[in-house]
Amino acid sequence: MNVLMFTNTYLPIVGGVSESVQRLKRQLQVAGHRVLVVAPRLEGQPRGERDVVRVVAVQHFNGSDFSLPVPIPGQLHEAIEAFDPDIVHAHHPFLLGDTAARAAETYGLPLIFTHHTLYEHYTHYVPGDSPRMQRFAVALATQYTWLCDEVIAPSESIRDLLRRREANPHISVVPSGVDTVRFASGDEGRWRDRLGIPTAAYVIGHLGRLALEKNLAFLAGAVAEALMREPEAHFLVVGDGEAGHVMQEVFGIQGVKDRVHFTGRLQGQALIDAYHAMDVFAFASHSETQGMVVAEAMAAGLPVVAIDAAGVREVVVDGHNGRLLAEDDVEAMAEALVTLADPRVRRPLAVAALETAAGYDEARCAERCLAVYRRAIARGGPFTHADEGGWERVRYRLGAEWQMLCYRGRLLRHLVQEEWQQERPAWWPGHRAEDESEVPRK
């Protein structure tokens, strides 16, 4: 099978979507399939990439780590036709996601969309952030699903959320996989020696982008409380980002800064070794669609202490492979972390964590994704426009543009309806309260 993927984030970006695309690409190729990735041109990208087409992008959009692809209509047709894809897989509902929808319509191919991200949690990266912008982000992703033949949700929580939002009902749950064999083996002394952490010390760890939407101020407060209760404990943080200074400020105020260690971003074996330097993994994000770093931590044999949230509750089972806390409670999280300082308490949870991680092996997850591809192809039949004459192809490209115009028209209509629902007086018949779920409709 020839799989054409579109993603707004890819190497050298370190992050959930980038890692997910890379892992899926690698496993599909191991299984004998061909993959072509369309991604933005990025500073520091690998030279001589195979199976990757880069498009022009604005670097460091709005001061963030992200780059903004600038799709130019028609620039990819030659590469796509040479690749001769069987299916199109979009990893975002906008920018290159639009290009993916155009390509699928132009060549008569099934379109798959993975809903990797809760975009409403990321609107602070866009000028003019507001509740209206958050509603727009929800509507954009929801309406995009109706352009697709199949939708992949990385977790049951996201599948259920999409159903409540009345997205395309053809939804399959396929988590992003983890190379469980690689993550199971690491040098636990590498980072302890480098950072001056005693061999016998209890190490709480965290890994990820240090971003505002990751609830890191709360996490820092809970870990600081745990460090004050456990005078020999240390905290190891892997990653960087704008929230790093917020965390450091919390640790400084609490007087535990000398036992907190930031490594910056890590990749490859260095990242795996960092996991193995930890004894327990702490996680507090509410913005995840799946617990990929949580699954990685468990593959390294770490129990996880986390807040009950979408994408995390499918992985962490309270009292079995870690602790899952009901809400943001500094005292409760600190107490859970302190309790796991006892190896007798920690050991059975670590064994269960390894067992849980086996279910997220990336080869298994890639096979589940292939099943979604096959189902979409079978439902659509063998018809393709790829071999038709020049005039027919032009006609289908025009059809693709019309489809995108219709999509944007539906999106605009739902946004107008949404604003009317939000702003009409409370006494108006059919008024919807602020705390009710947003439900974009087709």
Q: ∠ CA(12), CA(15), CA(17), 5° rounding?
A: 100
Closest to 83 in 3D by CA, of 5, 197, 9 = 5
Average pLDDT over residues 331-337: 98
Average pLDDT over residues 235-255: 96
Per-residue pLDDT band for 364 (boundaries 50, 70, 90) equals: very high
CA 144 to chain centre: 17
Where are the domain boundaries for CATH 3.40.50.2000 in the chain? 2-177+363-423, 187-359
pLDDT value at position 386? Answer: 45
pLDDT tens, position by position, 8-61: 999 888 788 999 999 999 999 999 999 999 999 888 889 889 999 998 877 655
Checking if the pLDDT of 191 tops 60, the result is yes
In angstroms, rounded to a whole number, what is the distance separating the alpha carbons of residues 32 and 296? 25
User: Which 3 state secondary structure label does DSSP give 174?
Assistant: coil
Length, in residues, of the chain: 442
Q: Which residue has the tokens 């929230």?
A: 243
Of 105 and 75, more confident:
105
Average pLDDT over residues 287-301: 92
Helices 390-423 and 96-107 pack at an angle, to 10 degrees, of 130
pLDDT value at position 436? Answer: 41
Residue ranges of alpha helices (H) inside 196-267 are 216-229, 244-254
Q: How many CB atoms lie within 10 A of CB 406?
A: 11
CATH number for 2-177+363-423 (one of 3.40.50.300, 3.50.50.60, 3.90.230.10, 3.40.50.2000): it is 3.40.50.2000
Burial category of 160 from C-beta neighbours within 10 Å (exposed 0-12, middle 13-18, buried 19 and up): middle
Tell which CATH architecture fits domain 187-359: 3-Layer(aba) Sandwich (3.40)
Q: How many CB atoms lie within 10 A of CB 240?
A: 17
Strands 304-307 and 280-283: parallel
User: Beta partners for 207?
Assistant: 238
Checking if the pLDDT of 90 tops 80, the result is yes
pLDDT value at position 212? Answer: 82
pLDDT value at position 127? Answer: 60
pTM assigned to the model: 0.81
End-to-end CA separation in angstroms for the chain: 31
Mean pLDDT for the chain overall = 86
